[in-house]
Structure 1
Amino acid sequence: MMQLRFILLVSVALTLAFTSGPSAAQKHYDPGASDTEIKVGNIMPYSGPLSAYAQIGRTQAAFFRMVNDHGGINGRKISFISYDDAFSPPKTVEQARKLVEGDEVLFIFESLGTPTNAAIQKYMNEKHVPHLFVATGASRFGDYKTFPWTMGWQPTYQTEGRIYARYILEHHPDGKIAVLYQNDDSGRDYLKGLKDGLGEAAAKRMIVAEISYDLTEPTVDSKVVALKSSGADIFFDEASPKFAAQAIKKAAEIGWKPTLILANISNSVGAVLKPAGLENSKGIISANYLKDPTDPSWKDDAAMKEWAAFMDQYFPDGDKSSTFNVYGYATAQTLVRVLKQCGDDLTRANIMKQAASLKDLELGVLLPGIKINTSEIDFNPIEQMQLSRFNGEYNELFGKPLSGEIGTQ
């Protein structure tokens, strides 16, 4: 009898060890995570000069509502706390501190802008709080050695600039280039990428004008007039949405008809090309990594149908002609993958570990052939783009996905 009792006790002990014990032991949380919730912080320019990008944050909020309606992530609901910084770096610092020290979020996701993210990058890394998938392509946000708690998402501006250089050298080897760029790290990164891609000799020979603008300026009209006077027959319009649209429209008004190359950050049909005038925008060259919702090539595409259905149900007021809403959807999908990979280890260190462990991740709204890859020494998830030409209705793709690395095909 005692032997039977002993066997039963051992059996019960083993059962408890393999059911209750390990599952509880496997759960690891940092501030912002629990059995029921994951707090995600976000900072967006819901007001100010870059408010056109606000729909990215609104799309992400809608996506997480959808995720929560379907049970959340591993049974946990996402609490998405998003604040406005009006694209003002001091305000970004204030909002980041509020999110980390007040709301105690697990991490900050997709904070938008180069100068704004630069203002909080050191703080986030000193606090060891993930500064994840920042919404900017500036190269400093892929510097895993100096800032191991910061990671980008989209292709870098230098990568994109080198891709445009390849196009120019192949199709306009004798061209004269005028550049309008934003007076911050993003604009300088674009310019550096263009020059690196052209090569030192070609850059000196081909770039005949470089003019920067500040976000506090009301218009860039006078700068476009000055660029035309340079005699350039190629215009690289590296400007944020409001100013990009102004530049396109002004070039048309003064009868300047260069080959116009538009930075990806502003190639949204709904947010930029329509306000600039569809006829004025016809022929614009740009680089892409997301499917354009205005392109009829994707009308029967399963992933774009899912995106459209999501928009109809969760963000019916959103502009379905804007790639900004596709961008918000794709970044939110990427975060969901990372959180699923984390399982019950929702520590800040594991968030970064899983974000740096994405292998050939294919999102349906990315262009075919473009995949997300990261590692502990690669904090630039997307590194390929495909060129397009605006035909008056949509950005028509041509060629194949290109890498911006020098010496690659």
Structure 2
Amino acid sequence: MKIRRSARGFFGVVAVVAIVALAASSCSRAPKGSSGSASPGITDTTVTLGVTTPLSGPTAGPGTCTVAGVKAYFGAANAAGGVKFGDGKTRKVEIKTYDDTYDPQKALANFQQMVSDGVFAATAGLGTPTNRAFREAAIDEKFPQVLVMTGDPLFSTRKDSPWQLGFVPIYQNEGAAFGQLLAASGSQHKVAILAQNDDYGKGYVDGFKQAVAGAPNIQIVRELSYEATDTSVDAQLTELAGTGADVFFNAMSITPLTIASLQKAQQIGWRPSWFLPSNTSSPSAILTPGGASAYPGIYSVAFSKTPQSPEFASDPDVVKFLSDLKTYANYPSLPAFPHCAWSYIVGATLEQAFQKMTEPTRDSFMTALRGISGFRAPLMLQGTAVDTTKDGQPAVSTVIVQKYNGKGYATAQKFG
């Protein structure tokens, strides 16, 4: 009898523990104010997004912009009453920011903090190494890491990265666009290449080489690399200048190095035409201090309007964008980096997904996000659009080659 009573008591305790554990589990899955099936970070009235990006250090300029743009977009949306979601509820969008200083270890720690903070999804953060640092952890957690500022194609391959989606064009697309323009010029050109020794630099170079392959008028005369941690590339520039190349393909992501490169080439008397990636081609932050007007041409690619360009000074999208930046992101000056505009477009794209998701879950959000096609978001250039339906491609895959005109950029109809 004692044994049987003990057995009943034991199983009774187990049952109570199981019920308590189940209740605790349900509480952890359902934020306060939401239905029991909701994912962390979303309630009936709010959804919380996280941005880990460099807010200090050498890449703080573009990093700060990735926060400012998305805050500006949703600040305006919240002020207008919030975003109407596909499940019929209207929610305010809250943004939590985390500084990773462009350090992968800090980015991983920030992701872990996001999980602890109950964030619904990570978005807009800058950098390939930093976003890669927590990609696998996000997959394990089934945690969306979407519309991030990296051209790494891995983030847009659904089989390898089911909870990820890149935003900006992949590096290969940017490199190929310039290569196609150069090859189509018909005139003879010698090209010197300097690339960052990582997936970023290699992606740009691969795209460029594929585009000029077989073009009889293009000769690559020298190719060198540098490390992202280097403080100078003077030696590489001196060697490349000795080739007599009239075109310099500079796949560089570090702002101070890009400025120094523009200055150094002038000091040694080398004045080729340049190609610069979209994220290191800011007219005010890079080209003006670098003395870019000394060169016959500075080319880059874009998919968003440039507020500094006179042609967009009175553009309605740009006027509203600048007003929202000042009002809701405390960013009073004209943005020096395109990332402010890019993350504003990220906000518009996220709103499209929110409007389509029928349940307050991460699964429903990812399904909605991957179903956007032909969306011409505010600030996008004619001929570009958001399309998230193409496996292996980011949300934006089309770019327009532009030429620096001393103040901003204008569409480059031809090379030269």
Q: In structure 1, which of residues 295, 314, 337 is the aligned counterpart of residue 352 of structure 2?
A: 337
Letter in 2 for 1:73: V
Moved more, 297-306 or 189-198: 297-306
Q: How big is the shift at 1:265?
A: 1.5
Q: Deviations 1:335-372 (Å, cap 9, x if unpaired)?
A: 122122225x1211111111101021011201012111
Q: Conserved in 2, the CA contact under 8 Å of 1:356 and 1:378? A: no
Q: Aligned partners of 2:182, 2:338: CA distance in 1, in Å?
A: 25
Compute the RMSD of aligned alpha carbons: 2.3
Q: How does 1:315-394 map to 2 (within 5 A)?
A: 315-343=330-358, 345-375=359-389, 377=391, 379-394=393-408
**Residues 357, 374 of structure 1: 8 Å contact kept:** yes
Task: Measure the CA separation in 1 of the matches of 2:368 and 2:279.
Answer: 27
Which whole-Å CA distance do the structure 1 matches of 2:123 and 2:61 have between them?
Answer: 19
Tell me, what secondary structure is at the counterpart of 1:360? Answer: coil
1:50 aligns with 2:59: yes
- Distance, in Å, in 2 between the alignment partners of 1:163 and 1:86 is 30
Give the match's secondary structure for 2:134.
helix
* 1:130 matched residue in structure 2: 144
Matched position secondary structure for 2:118: coil
Q: What is the distance in 2 between the residues matched to 1:204 and 1:297?
A: 33
The residue type equivalent to 1:33 in the other structure is: I
CA distance in 1, matches of 2:362, 2:375: 22
Q: Per-residue deviation at 1:289?
A: 0.8
Q: Residue type of the partner of 1:93?
A: L
Equivalent residue for 2:245?
232
Tell me, yes or no, if the aligned pair for 1:141 and 1:152 is still in contact at 8 Å.
yes
- Give CA-to-partner distance per residue, 1:283-311, whole Å, 9 cap, x none: 20111111111222223322112112223
Q: Please report how far the alpha carbon of residue 40 of structure 1 lies from its aligned counterpart in structure 2 after TM superposition.
A: 0.6
Partners of 1:27 and 1:176 lie apart in 2 by 63
The answer to whether 1:91 aligns with 2:106 is yes
Give secondary structure in 2 for the equivalent of 1:176: strand
Give how far 1:392 is off: 1.1
The structure 1 residue matched to 2:73, chosen from 52, 63, 79, is 63
Would the alpha carbon gap of residues 239 and 118 (structure 1) be closer, same or farther in structure 2, given more than 3 Å must change?
same
Corresponding residue number in structure 2 for 1:216: 229
Question: 1:258 Cα deviation (Å)?
Answer: 0.9
Pair 73,397 (structure 1): closer, same or farther in 2 beyond 3 Å: same
Gaps of 5+ in 1: 1-23, 401-409
State the distance in 2 between where 1:203 and 1:139 align: 29
Q: Is the 8 A contact 2:149 2:167 kept in 1?
A: yes
Change (3 A) 1:270 1:281: farther
Q: State the partner residue of 1:399.
A: 413
The answer to whether the 8 A contact 2:53-2:102 is kept is yes
For residues 65-94 of structure 1, what are the alpha-carbon distances to aligned partners after superposition, in whole Å with 9 as ceiling and x for unaligned?
332222222332222111011111111111
TM-score after normalising by structure 1: 0.85
- Superposed CA deviations along residues 168-215 of structure 1, whole A, max 9, x for unmatched, are 11126532211121121111111111111122x559972222222222
2:129 to 112, 115, 120: 115
- Residue 185 (structure 1) aligns with: 199
- Corresponding residue number in structure 2 for 1:7: none
CA distance in 2: counterparts of 1:213 and 1:356, whole angstroms: 36
- Match for residue 96 of structure 2? 81
Aligned amino acid, residue 51 of structure 1: A
Alignment partner of 1:259 is 2:273: yes
Q: Is the 8 A contact 2:50 2:96 kept in 1?
A: yes
Of residues 373-382 and 329-338 in structure 1, the stretch that sits farther from structure 2 once superposed is 373-382
TM-score (norm 2): 0.84
SS in structure 2 at match of 1:78: strand
Shift of 1:322: 3.6
Alignment of 1:136-155 (within 5 A): 136-155=150-169
Q: Measure the CA separation in 1 of the matches of 2:42 and 2:106.
A: 26
Amino acid at match of 1:231: G
The alpha-carbon deviation at position 228 of structure 1 amounts to 0.8
Q: Which amino acid aligns with 1:165?
A: G
Q: Equivalences for 1:295-314 in 2 at 5 Å?
A: 295-314=309-328
Q: Which residue in the other structure is 2:9 paired with? A: none
**1:229-278 deviations in whole A, cap 9, x for unaligned?**
22222101211222222211211221111121111111211221122125
Matched, 1:245 2:259: yes
Contact in 1 for aligned 2:154/2:392 (Cα 8 Å):
no
Offset of residue 282 of structure 1: 6.1
| In structure 2, distance between residues paired with 1:108 and 1:313 | 24
**CA positional deviation for 1:391:** 1.4
More divergent stretch after superposition (140-149 vs 53-62) = 53-62
Distance in 2 (CA, whole Å) between partners of 1:276 and 1:286 is: 15
| 8 Å CA contact 1:56, 1:328 repeated in 2 | yes
Unaligned runs of at least 5 residues, structure 2: 1-32, 85-89
After alignment, is 51-60 or 147-156 more displaced?
A: 51-60
